[in-house]
Structures are given as C-alpha cells and as structure tokens.
C-alpha cells in the first residue's frame, strides 16, 4: 500500500517552522507529527532564512509606494493651507484698517 505524499502550502510550512522556533518544539517531534524527514525540515528552514529578507523588502517597498502616493496629496494640502493663511492675513489686515478708519482702534 503506497502512502500518498502530502504537500504543505507556504503558510503551513511557516506555521510548522514557527512551532519549532517560537514554541521550541523539538524538530524530531515536528517531523514525527507531520510525517516529514528531518532533512526536509532543514531544507524548509534554510529556504526560510535565505529568503526572509524578502518579507522586509516587500514591506519597505509597500511603505515607499504608500508614501510616494501621499506626497502629491500632502503638497496639495500644504499649498491650500498657505493660500488660506494668505487670504486670512489679508482679511485681518483689511479688518484692522477699517477699524482704524472708524476710530475703533
């Protein structure tokens, strides 16, 4: 009777590796639990650490893309704020001038 090979998704592999790294479950126990050889587990672990930088790279790229998308909006809002301050300054100056002319100051 042949045993059917079980394939694990990348998420499942990470969860199994997490059990070993964070929960400190011995590798031999994990291999027995999931029916995998120790060398396969070692291969997963090696691939995980060799490609771990990709998780941080993707995060940094996402952050940069989000920041780049926000930059034009921020510049637009800053320009609007400057216009608002200019208009308010002009109105306040006119207001003070009128009060002076009416003798209220």
- Determine, yes or no, domain membership for 97: yes
Distance (Å) of CA 82 to CA 69, 75, 97: 21, 11, 23
What mean pLDDT comes out for the span 67-82?
85
Query: Can you say how many angstroms the Cα of residue 5 is from the centroid of all Cα atoms in its chain?
Result: 36
Write down the pTM of the prediction. 0.47
Q: 2 in a domain, yes or no?
A: no
Domain that holds residue 17: 7-51
pLDDT tens digits, one per residue of 77-91: 999 999 999 999 999
pLDDT digits (tens, 9 = 90+) for 10-32: 888 888 888 888 888 898 898 88
Same domain, 72 and 95: yes
Report the C-alpha dihedral over residues 56, 58, 62, 67, rounded to 10 degrees. Answer: 50
In-domain check, residue 103: yes
When divided into structural domains, the chain yields a total of 2
């Amino acid at each position: 009777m042949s045993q059917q090979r079980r394939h694990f998704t990348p998420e499942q592999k990470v969860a199994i590796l997490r059990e070993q790294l964070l929960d400190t479950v011995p590798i031999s126990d994990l291999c027995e639990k999931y029916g995998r050889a120790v060398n396969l587990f070692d291969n997963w672990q090696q691939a995980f650490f060799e490609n771990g930088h990709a998780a941080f790279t993707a995060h940094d790229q996402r952050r940069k893309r989000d920041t780049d998308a926000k930059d034009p909006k921020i510049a637009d809002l800053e320009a609007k704020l400057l216009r608002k301050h200019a208009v308010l300054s002009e109105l306040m100056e006119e207001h003070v001038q009128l009060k002076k002319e009416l003798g209220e100051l």
